[in-house]
């Protein structure tokens, strides 16, 4: 990760937070824009009584607020909103994609540097899946990129036990139903056989829970390694597992395009605020204990870097 992301589009002056329109915005949307959580999580927090507006606890997200309103979450003021930022993270096997795991398993957020902004994940990768995970400080952007209607292609490299031919994989282009769940068209290419395993490149646009594993299971294939190598135009590239890299503001704006950025409500002119972890976050980290980020087989980063390059062969830019 670079020592410090280049601020290539910062204005000379910037407001401390984004102004709300005169008639206000839904409170869950404002919370998501602040990067504290997704809009869905914000609604759940409100219903749980964790959010107050002007000193009064609210329990319904059906409330519009303006910049004059004072919003607190668990008694703490809502963080000032930064500009929209996006990070590419190489999630290792063994971490769960959540901010808190009731089973006490290590999470992706345990392993991130402490000086990063509050981040939320765009979609999820399950504990046994590795590869590219997009992280952002903007809940509106996270929601927009998760929507099936956005249609960004998520591409995976898959190693599976069993045998299959290209004709069977081509049939997935029509979509299929598995255990009552309908999956959309799937792009699948047989790359090579390796002993009792096959390597397949798969492209999907919906990303339903365990979609790749469930679909390949219908072909008699048991997935034993799953690596996401791209999400829309963003590539895993040469990131080693556990590494994180920020997408520059100019590149992010170009890759999103004007329409998508507007629909997500992105702000590319706000400030980037240096951040130290709060006392609450420090206590949470201490309580969880120091956790490393071991590689998929407990090997070293240098060994993994050499071994994994062929397994996650780069693909072209795509949406």
CB-side neighbour CA atoms (13 Å) of 192 = 5
Poorest-pLDDT segment among 95-104, 126-135, 266-275:
266-275
Alpha-carbon span 236 to 229, nearest angstrom: 5
Q: How far apart are the first and last CA of the chain?
A: 25
Q: Confidence class of residue 23 from pLDDT cuts 50, 70 and 90?
A: low
pLDDT value at 5 more than 60? no
Higher pLDDT, 295 or 221: 221
Contact criterion met (CB below 8 Å) for 274 and 34 = no
Predicted confidence at residue 67, as pLDDT, reads 82
Predicted confidence at residue 148, as pLDDT, reads 82
Give the pLDDT mean for 218-247: 96
pLDDT value at 306 more than 80? no
Contact criterion met (CB below 8 Å) for 212 and 156 = yes
Please state, for a pLDDT cut of 90, what percent of the chain lies above it: 59
Alpha-carbon span 186 to 167, nearest angstrom: 13
Domains with residue ranges and CATH for the chain: 25-77 (3.10.290.10), 82-150+233-310 (3.30.70.580), 153-231 (3.30.70.1560)
pLDDT value at 147 more than 90? no
pLDDT value at 21 more than 90? no
Any idea what DSSP says for residue 89?
E
Q: pLDDT, tens digit, for every residue of 53-70?
A: 999 999 999 999 998 899
Distance of CA 284 to the CA centre of its chain: 22
Q: Confidence class of residue 276 from pLDDT cuts 50, 70 and 90?
A: low
- What are the catalytic residues? 126
CB-side neighbour CA atoms (13 Å) of 136 = 28
DSSP states along 252-297 = HHHHHHHHHHHHHT--SSS--------HHHHHHHHHH-------TT
Instruction: Copy the structure tokens of residue 104.
Output: 């006490």
C-alpha distances out from residue 176 to 62, 64, 66, 183, Å: 38, 42, 46, 5
Angle between helices 139-146 and 249-264 (to 10 degrees): 80
């Amino acid at each position: 990760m670079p020592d410090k992301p280049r601020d290539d589009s910062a204005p000379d002056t910037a407001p401390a937070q984004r102004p709300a329109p005169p008639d206000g915005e839904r409170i869950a949307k404002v919370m998501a824009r602040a990067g504290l959580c997704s809009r869905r999580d914000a609604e759940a927090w409100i219903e749980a009584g964790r959010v107050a507006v002007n000193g009064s606890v609210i329990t319904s997200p059906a409330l519009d607020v303006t910049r004059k309103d004072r919003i607190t979450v668990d008694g703490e003021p809502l963080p000032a909103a930064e500009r929209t930022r996006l990070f590419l993270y190489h999630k290792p096997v063994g971490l769960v994609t959540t901010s808190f795991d009731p089973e006490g398993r290590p999470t992706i957020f345990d392993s991130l540097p402490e000086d990063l902004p509050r981040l939320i994940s765009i979609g999820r990768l399950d504990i046994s899946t590795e590869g590219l995970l997009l992280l952002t400080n903007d809940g509106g952007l996270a929601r927009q990129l998760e929507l099936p209607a956005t249609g960004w292609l998520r591409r995976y490299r898959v190693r599976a036990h069993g045998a299959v031919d290209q004709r069977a994989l081509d049939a997935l282009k029509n979509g299929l139903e598995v255990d009552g769940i309908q999956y959309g068209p799937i792009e699948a290419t047989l790359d090579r056989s390796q002993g009792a395993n096959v390597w397949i490149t798969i492209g999907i646009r919906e990303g339903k829970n365990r979609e790749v594993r469930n679909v390949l299971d219908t072909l008699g294939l048991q997935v034993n390694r799953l690596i996401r190598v791209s999400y829309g135009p963003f590539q895993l590239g040469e990131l080693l597992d556990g590494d994180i890299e920020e997408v520059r503001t100019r590149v992010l704006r170009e890759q999103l395009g004007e329409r998508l950025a507007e629909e997500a409500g992105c702000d590319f002119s706000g400030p980037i605020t240096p951040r130290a972890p709060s006392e609450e976050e420090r206590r949470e980290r201490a309580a969880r204990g120091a956790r490393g980020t071991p590689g998929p087989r407990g090997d070293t980063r240098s060994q993994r870097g050499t071994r994994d390059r062929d397994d996650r062969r780069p693909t072209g830019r795509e949406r």
